[in-house]
Amino acid sequence: MGVNRKRVKFYIYYVLIIAILFVAVSNQVQASPSVSSQKAILMDQETGRILYEKDAHSQSRIASITKIMTAILAVESGKMDKEVTVSSNAAGTEGSSLYLKAGEKIKLEDLVYGLMMRSGNDAAVAIAEYVGGSLDGFVFMMNEKANEIGMVNTHFSNPHGLDDHEDHYSTAYDMALLTRYSMADEVYKEIAGTKVHTAPNPEEKWDRKWKNKNRLLTELYKYSTGGKTGYTKLAKRTLVSTASKSGESLIAVTLNGPDDWNDHIGMFEYGFKQFDYKIVLEKGLIKKIDDEVYKDHAYLKRDSVLSLTDDEVEDVKVEYKMLKPKQEWVKNQNVPDVVGRAVVYLGDKEVDTLPVFYKTSSATEEEKSWWKFWAFSFESLMGVRHHG
């Protein structure tokens, strides 16, 4: 009997251990989203941190998500209230269309709404000809803006994304960068998040009424804030979308995604569940510095905010790398505005750098930031009295 009891106990322990391991592995698997798309990325809109990626830096055709660049250039032109005369070239553009007629006049703002909501290729050409002076001129502007934003693996050859050029491509990462840049513009943000738009139609008795093609925004995902759909025979389904929940804003991009709606929902849910904004440095007076020259004078002009999992909190640290003070600085004489930098690390990776400023009179605490999260700090003094 004693041997049998030992065997029973052994099997019970064995089953318990297997069950615990199964739960642990299941939780780990569920932590990463399941994505059907060949290329994908999930980026935090506020901090720019990549929360998930899948072959995100490989160049690929992008179809109509190209129009995000076309839209932001139109918005930045400062001509949104101007009327555009539609050319025969624009009216004859193939593919998805607003059914514009050659010679008709339409406000640039309405063209951008039609571009983003109905993916009008005719609108894309009309915008390009008006804003850039010509298609070639506008394509030049597109690539200049791409360079400015840091889209190093991108080249534009048209304003709509049709498969009429071999050298028209981008990456999931670059399109996330473009979206992050564009969403900082309130006009673009409003357009991208509009579900229905009405535009005058002077040649008919009824106005044009457009419903957004982005089903995440219109019906599938209540936290959706905008985006752009795309499809061509060569690019397949492409999708850029944005979402916000409890103050956290995310960007998702998929290229060649057969189940892209669910891909985006899965990535968003993963991001909202696993990551939160944390203030790792608060703007205002730096209390950790007690050097006689810098004490009560060194301060930060902005918060440092990271998107972190709970497990990553303990991996954050801050190092202050300060200039070696000069003798006259003791009397607040000839002190430069910037006297060092605060470097924020997540593990061994540098994730943020803030200039440290100097006030000749005691720096006062600035107004608290809008972040509605508990601040925490992992500061250590590094390089005080040494050049950073």
**Cα–Cα distance measured from residue 53 to residue 230, given in angstroms and rounded to the nearest whole number:** 20
**DSSP string for residues in 248-306:** EEEEEEEES-TTHHHHHHHHHHHHHHH-EEEEEE-SEE-TT---TTTTTTEEESS-EEE
Q: Closest by alpha carbon to 344, among 371, 311, 316, 321? A: 316
**Exposed / middle / buried, residue 296 (Cβ in 10 Å: 0-12, 13-18, 19+):** middle
Cα 276 versus chain centre, distance: 15
Q: Give catalytic residues, as residue numbers.
A: 64, 67, 119
**Exposed / middle / buried, residue 26 (Cβ in 10 Å: 0-12, 13-18, 19+):** exposed
Q: Within a 13 Å sphere around the CA of 353, how many CA atoms are in the beta-carbon half?
A: 8
Look at residue 88 and give its three-state secondary structure. helix
